[in-house]
Amino acid sequence: MKKILSILVVIIAITSCTEPYALQSSTFEDAIVIEATITNELKKQEIKISRTFRLEEKEPQTEANATVYVTDDLGNQYNFNETNGKYISEFEFQAMPNRQYQLFVNTSNGKQYSSTREELTTVNNLTSIEATAKNKFGVNGIDITANSFDPTGTSKYYRYEYEETHRFTVPQWVPDSITVYGNAEYWDLNGHITYAFNIVDRTGESKNCFKTTKSTEIILNNTTSYAEDRISDYSIRFISQDDFIIADRYSILVKQYIHNINSYSYYKVLRDISGSGSVLSPSQPGFIYGNIKNTSDNNEKVIGYFDVSTVSEKRIFFNFGDLFPNTEVPDFPYECVETVYDTTLFRGPTGFPVFGLTDFATKIRTKKILRYKTTSQPNVSTFSSECSDCRVTGSNIIPSFWQ
């Protein structure tokens, strides 16, 4: 959502799910963006409120100090508090069947917004997630597919998200670090700056790490043209055999959301106008109205959708060898160039090792090179930090779900 709003805007008004979309050219316009989905999960629900932002801007500006709450048709009110740029419900709650929910947002500048009343969609759990080695589009890889079935035939509109985690090992790891000693600079007898360096033991795991990324594309499917409401082997993620993320052990968590036709149409327009099927595409050309409006100004452009959706999830794990036995694992994604330094060429105060190379010191201080391994004395070999410390590109904390 935030990336799709980072470009210059053309107006696209969705007046109903059956009428054609009207396109009009326009320049960038500031508008409020409300991303709100509550689900049947018992948890603290989350709502994001921000502003549109230009392509040259890195992040959207969050809408601070707003009053945010959700009501239902039984008179219950669920209040949301601002926390780290998001609005989090005060207490855990879950959307219930056959109950109507409505979102209200009052901003600090006095504007009031409300959504249409929405009901929870059909509960339809994922049956399975499968990973299969296959050739797709002429590429060998792993196809991750979803399966589900609704015997009542009332789900029909599906959206998927995933979160993938992989474990990896850096190829040039040693148990020691090289640092600039005390950040000190020294002058030798010839007036040259020299630097003192020190070898220290590493603290914490730095050889094996984990990295987690979330899906960015909008993944949709519907069964309106099928004889039954069944999802069979629907591709959620295809990973090339040469992708390093599956070189060791890999896990993916897939979430399946059930939508009504209006919210599904909203996501479909988001996907289609992005040009590539990704909300990150810079080709996004438009402004999209959802089901949220300014209560006193129907002409104000409000971006976002208040969605009440059922969700189910499943996680799978696999090792590279499980699907590609007796196959060479993918290459490490960074070029690990070795640079050798002769310690006898550098001078400085007492300490081992001691160098007089400004460029070398700068690279260490800026974490371009952090690690070393000794070769034949008096040489020291160094590698980029990406190749020798997994914490540079990942986390050494083992995820709670890891198996």
**d(Cα 107, Cα 120) in Å, to the nearest integer?**
26
In which band, very low, low, confident or very high, does the pLDDT at 311 lie, cut at 50, 70 and 90? very high
Q: Is the pLDDT of residue 19 over 90?
A: no
Looking at residue 30, its pLDDT comes to 82
Q: Please tell me what DSSP assigns to residue 175.
A: S
- pLDDT tens digits for range 196-238: 666 677 788 999 999 999 999 999 999 999 999 999 999 999 9
Q: Where does 30-175 show beta strands of DSSP type E? A: 32-39, 46-51, 67-72, 77-83, 86-89, 100-106, 112-115, 118-119, 126-136, 139-149, 157-169
pTM for the model: 0.82
- Write out the two tokens for 220: 């949709």
Q: Are strands 118-119 and 100-106 parallel, antiparallel or unpaired?
A: antiparallel
For position 36, what pLDDT does the model report?
95
Q: Which residues have CB under 8 Å from 30's CB, separation 6+?
A: 51, 52
Report the amino acid identity of residue 350: T
Those residues whose C-beta lies under 8 Å from the C-beta of residue 45, and which sit 6 or more positions away, are 38, 39, 70, 78, 80, 88, 89, 93
* Higher pLDDT, residue 67 or 379: 67
In this model, does residue 191 exceed pLDDT 80? no
Q: What is the mean pLDDT of residues 87-92?
A: 97
Judge whether residue 21 has pLDDT over 60.
no
pLDDT at 359 over 80: no
Quick one: pLDDT at residue 97?
Answer: 96
CB 99 within 8 A of CB 90: no
